[in-house]
Amino acid sequence: MIPAGLTLVLLGALAALLRRPLLAICLTVLTAVLLRQVNSAKRRALGEPLVFSDLGLFAQALRFPRLYLPYIGWPVPLALALLFVALMVAGITFESSAGSWRWLGVALLGAALLALGSWAAPPLSFEPHRDLARLGLLGLLWRYWLEERKPVPALPSCPFRFRGGAPSAGRAIVVVHPLSFVAGRRLVILARVVEFYRLCAEGLSGRLSVPAWGANTMRTEFAFLSGVPNAALGVHRFNPYRYIARRPVMTLAALLRERGYRTVCMHPYPGAFFARHRVLPNLGFDEFLDLKYFAGAERAGPYVADSALTQRLLSVLSAATRPLFVFAITMESHGPFRLEGDDELAVYLEHLANADAALGPLTRALRARGDGVVCVFGDHVPSLPRLRHEASAQDGRTDYLVWRAGRVRQQRCDLSAEQLGQCVLDAIGA
């Protein structure tokens, strides 16, 4: 009922506005085809159906096409755009103008079906595959849109606590967030991941359950910083930065700032991506160093190299005059890898090795200082067809470590992303 209602509303509104019914029918069909193409592309790349918050990224996809269009394929959007232009020209040129009142009635009929279908629809699970099976694609998009229109719910109280007295090794806390970082056994061998496992032998490490697969970094970021499970966010779990983080949130960064830390986020990409330039101040950061800070930095592929980010990070550390918390989000290992070579896995492994190597200078600098904590974690597994059969890719978990300079205590424990921030606080405890 909801899909029929949405179709009639769109058809009736277009026909009434354009006064050309045949053109309106063609545009309605074209819209349905476009949604299904995007849904299919997302399911192939990320294993998740299209949800309404994804449509909010449409302008971002136009602004940063390299990160989006390769997953759909250039021919499809180009063909649909050309078809749209051709239909508009042909409809306006050859179809005679018709009355619009009857089509307003069609739109009103669609609105009535929408209201009735929304009232009778089953409760949402916010598990996209399950909701898609019950509602269909249009029903899924509509119901999630309705949920987003409700008042933003209050978050649970901040779960982070300082334990064991005042911080004693926390004058420098560095969280490195290499995108798509997974240190599975086969990948360790192929990519020569050595620094990460050397540090694992001296600290806490394990597998990390994350609320994303192949993309949607902001889900894992928010879970780590806020300590709130993704499932507790309702419809906002798909993009916490869309509404939840548009107001102040008590996070790990905010808590450390209250304790006198200067809090800095570093990310060598335009600050407008995911609206981080608006969101990060609400998450407790004093400063956001985006791509402008990395002018002239060395590149690895199309992005700023992890080694260059580490060098800029060390400069920030050396200039610090008070306790410092740095949250560094890398960019080198971000896909799509197919644009860098035919062998996507080989490209990814090269970037994975570089991410691992960049940990060496950082930890050596903290050893020389005699204090400091380093946390490293991956946001999601990479979207790579050749990794689909890897156990690490199948369960969607990534890897993490928490290491403290001057202390050797090997521990292994599997965690979820929202639990990791507390481990960082525990590492700096007295």
pLDDT tens column, 9-36: 999 999 999 989 999 999 999 999 999 9
Q: pLDDT tens digits, residue range 134-175?
A: 999 999 999 999 999 999 988 988 899 887 555 555 689 999
For domain 172-427, the CATH class is: alpha beta
pLDDT averaged over every residue in the chain: 90
Q: What is the mean pLDDT of residues 386-398?
A: 67
Q: Is omega for the bond preceding 336 within 30 degrees of 0, making it cis?
A: yes
Name the residue with tokens 């597994």: 381
pLDDT at 427 over 80: yes
- pLDDT for residue 106 is more than 90: yes
Six-digit token pair at 402?
A: 């928490």
Token duo for residue 345: 């896995």
The torsion angles phi and psi of 265, rounded to 5 degrees, stand at -110, 135
Cα 400 to Cα 329, 349, 375: the distances in Å are 14, 18, 7
Q: What is the pLDDT of residue 78?
A: 80
Residue 375 has pLDDT above 70, yes or no: yes
Distance CA 10, CA 141 (A): 14
Q: What pLDDT is stored for residue 91 in this prediction? A: 87
Per DSSP, helices labelled H in 270-305 are: 276-279
The pLDDT of residue 371:
85
Looking at residue 237, its pLDDT comes to: 97
Query: How large is the angle between the packed helices 101-120 and 2-18, nearest 10 degrees?
Result: 160
**Would you say 421 and 216 are in contact if contact means Cβ atoms under 8 Å apart?**
no
pLDDT of residue 171: 84
Instruction: Answer for the pair 195, 359: CB distance below 8 angstroms, yes or no.
Output: yes
Lowest mean pLDDT among 222-226, 306-310, 336-340: 336-340
Encoded tokens for 178: 């290499």
The dihedral region occupied by 106, where left means phi > 0, alpha psi between -120 and 50, and beta the remainder, is alpha
Q: Is residue 390 predicted with pLDDT exceeding 80?
A: no
- Size of the chain in residues: 430
Range 329-342 average pLDDT: 91
**Position 2 pLDDT exceeds 90:** yes
Mean pLDDT across 400-421: 94
Residues 6+ apart with CB under 8 A from 262: 286, 287, 320, 322, 323, 324, 325
pLDDT tens string 48-98 = 999 999 988 887 887 888 888 777 777 777 888 889 899 899 888 888 887
The mean pLDDT of 387-404, rounded to a whole number, is: 76
For the packed helices 128-148 and 101-120, what is the interaxial angle rounded to 10 degrees?
120
pLDDT band of residue 189 (cuts 50, 70, 90) is low
State the average pLDDT over residues 177-187.
Answer: 79
Q: How high is the pLDDT of residue 417?
A: 98
Of 285, 231, 288, 235, whose CA–CA distance to 255 is shortest?
Answer: 285
Alpha-carbon gap, residue 195 to 174, rounded angstroms: 16
| Helix (H) and strand (E) counts in the chain | 18, 11
8-state DSSP, 214: S
Dist CA 299 CA 305 (whole Å): 5
Q: Please tell me the predicted confidence (pLDDT) of residue 250.
A: 95
Which of 70-74, 389-393, 407-411 has the weakest average pLDDT?
389-393
Question: Phi then psi for 208, rounded to 5 degrees?
Answer: -120, 120
State the amino acid at position 215 in one-letter form: A
- The predicted pLDDT at position 185 comes to 61
pLDDT reported for residue 180? 87
Q: What is the mean pLDDT of residues 386-415?
A: 82
CATH 3.40.720.10 in the chain is located at 172-427
Taking the whole predicted model, whether its pTM rises above 0.85 is answered as yes
Residue 257 has pLDDT above 60, yes or no: yes
- 198-243 per-position pLDDT tens digit: 999 999 999 999 999 988 999 999 999 999 999 999 999 999 999 9
Gap between the Cα atoms of 289 and 270, Å rounded? 10
End-to-end CA distance of the chain: 61
